[in-house]
Chain A
Amino acid sequence: MIDTLRPVTLPEGAEITLRLAGPVARARAWATDFAIRSMVLMSLPAAFARFGDAGAGVMLICWFAISTLYPILFEALWNGATPGKRVFNLAVVHADGTPVGWSSAFLRNIVRMADAFPVGYVTGFIVMLFDGQFRRLGDLAAGTVVIHRDSLAGKPGAHAAREALAAPVALTPLEQRAILDFDERRGGWSAERAAELAETAVPLVGALRGEAAADRVSSIAAGLQSRR
């Protein structure tokens, strides 16, 4: 089964899943950061203009410092996210899911120069195409990955007010998740489609048909939720 997940086993023995972020999401975050940085950088000449050539020198130093330190500082101090990454709900973490610190943030952003070589991050893009976890060279060097951090859970309980029923059969965690998902997403489907879906879960709905079947599945979802 092809997917873009990275399972990580925590020292406690629990397993979490990192949702790796690929080129498009990361490019969008980068473009946002680039826009923010450019605005700052372009405001500098006006501020330094009155100081003549010396001002120009100081300004160039500021330019260098801002463009180099921007990603490092944000990633090390702001939960692994630059403003652009935050806008698109991305974050840099270590491959084992732990937050990045100074050394990783520094390393992955210094190696950025190699990724950007020669134009427009072509090296990084090609490495990302063929790496199993969408890592660019900087990520490979620092042992980091970029992940999606938004939540995929829908609004719980559009139908949660329904009477709660216990499931008639023992359910695996994945099946319970599917039943809850059904309830959460039911509002987005036509009544016919919801009924059709519910009817496929024969052990849950038995001989019920149509809206009654869909309601039965929603009731079981409510039952699962109340048990939590």
Chain B
Amino acid sequence: MAVRLRPRNPSEALDLGFALVRENAAATYGAWLAIYLPVAAVAYAVLWGHPFIAWFVLWWLKPVFDRILLALLSRTLFGEPATAASVLRSPRQWLFGTGAFAALTWRRFDLSRSFHLPVRQLERLRGKPGRQRVKLLDRDMRAAATGLTVLLVLMELFVMVSAAFAITLLAPVRMPMEDILEVLFTQGLETAGDGALVGAVLATLATALVEPVYVAAGFTLYLQRRTMLEGWDIELRFRTLADRLAAPAASLAGVFAAVMLALVLLPASMPTRAAGKDPATEIKAVMAAPDFGKTEMKRRLEYVGPTWESKDDKPSTKTEWKWLEKIALFFSELARFATWIVGGTVLAAVLYFLARYLRFHGRASGARDRPDFLFGLDVRPDSLPEDVAAAATTLVREGRTREALSLLYRGALVRFLDRGLEFLRGDTEGDCVRKVDVAEPEPTRAFFRRLVSAWQSIAYGHRSVGADAVLALAGEWHRQFAPAADAQEAR
């Protein structure tokens, strides 16, 4: 199971669907577009000259596409690779026996389509049990499911209009908005020619963007409802608990995936189907409880006195406001300038923050941008003497241990940067040690760790480090890095 099971409110359950698609964006959209776009292309080719009808056919067939998407997404959920070919090869999973006919006819305008889809497709419930199941699921989640449909229908429309708008803006020919509106509303869609084709194709592409999210959010909403109804999250924890304390157990993940599959696909554990008792007597027993069927008395006041009419309906006199108008004109002029200034500032601010954001994130991933300073130390290659180890030895002889250590440390950082290690501007000593640990062989790692701790104790701890120790470090520095330096000079 790729998603975490926990209590959520309905909105969060929908959000989870968005996250599910996002985390598997490449695989999901890849497989989905590989199926949807060719079908759409065929539809437009067959109905060439009638783009609106082609769009309408594709739109009407959405429930079938939803089923393909749900087959894809349910595989993703259980960690199976979801490829277009593997889904298309098993039409039993998404076409036959999934209530597709009903979905294309009298259930086509179901406002909770993607929420109800798993009942038909994964649980395969039809007829009366199916209706009861849907009713049960609807009880807490109906509003969320409908909200999802409404929002995404609008978003599909907006994405399409936005794309049309962008094309209009970028097109080399002048296409005033009025003309487009006139074409759309006076001539009708059928006769609009190329404009209609472009519009229909854009609408189809908008569907391609939105539909996976729609199906995924409906699916996770369904999963959440059943999680709450049947306590899946608690079952998972209890099983983990039992597993943790049992003797060496079988692979938990495998067992659990099988259990969850069974739960999703079989309605056996439906609370409404709990066997053993006669439902009628049980309902009577419940209804007999004091929570139900009690009578409440409520009192409220009602006005019973005489009514009267308002006598105050003199027509108000109209005053002339010439002077106010002058002031207002002045202010409106002022406001006009202010609007331009504010608008310009806002645009500049947006550009600035966008640039800052891009620069920051670009830097975090850019490898070639090497810092000049690390924690205040100059790490430009030309700031080092020719032979670092020798220079350090000289400094120690002169009694300047601190400078010597600083030089060795700086030298090591520069050499690591030369070897392509990515130190960033904000890295601490600890970060550098970690990065060296990952990238360098063991002798170098150990050496660098000793060097850093010596440097830290002298620079931050203000403890003296013996001259011998520093000389030893300088000697080792030479062994570690001198060959590299020679090689670099040879190049």
Contacts and interface: CB of A to CB of B under 8 A. Distances in A.
B343 to A, nearest CB: 9
Contacts of B325: 52-54
Interface of A: 1-4, 19-25, 27-28, 50-55, 57-58, 61, 88, 107, 110-111, 113-114, 118-123, 125-126, 128-130, 132, 134, 140-141, 148, 150, 152, 154, 169, 171, 174-175, 177-178, 181-182, 185, 188-194, 196-198, 200-204
A193 to B, nearest CB: 6
A148 B228 CA distance: 19
A27 B274 CA distance: 39
B18 A23 contact: yes
Interface in B231-260: 231, 233-235, 237-242, 245-246
Contacts of B447: none
A188 B228 contact: yes
Given A24-B144, A148-B11, A203-B242, 6 more contacts: A22-B19, A51-B321, A118-B166, A120-B155, A148-B12, A181-B234
A113 B241 contact: no
Interface stretch (B35-43, B346-354, B420-428, B464-472): B346-354
Most chain B beta-carbon neighbours within 10 Å: one of A22, A110, A114, A182: A22
Contacts of A193: 230-231, 269, 271, 274
Contacts, number: 193
B22 A178 contact: no
B57 to A, nearest CB: 25
A21 B11 contact: yes
B276 interface: yes
Contacts of A107: 349, 353
B155 A200 contact: no
Interface in B137-158: 144, 147-148, 151, 154-155, 157-158
Contacts of B240: 175
A24 B234 contact: no
A119 B118 CA distance: 33
Contacts of A113: 346
A3 B9 contact: no
Main secondary structure of the interface of B (DSSP, over half): helix
B288 to A, nearest CB: 17
Interface string B4-27: 101111011011101111110100
A155 B18 CA distance: 29
14 contacts: A2-B4, A20-B15, A22-B14, A23-B18, A24-B144, A110-B349, A118-B166, A126-B209, A152-B9, A169-B245, A175-B240, A182-B231, A189-B229, A201-B238
A111 B353 CA distance: 10
B18 A22 contact: yes
Nearest to B328: A54
A51 B323 CA distance: 12
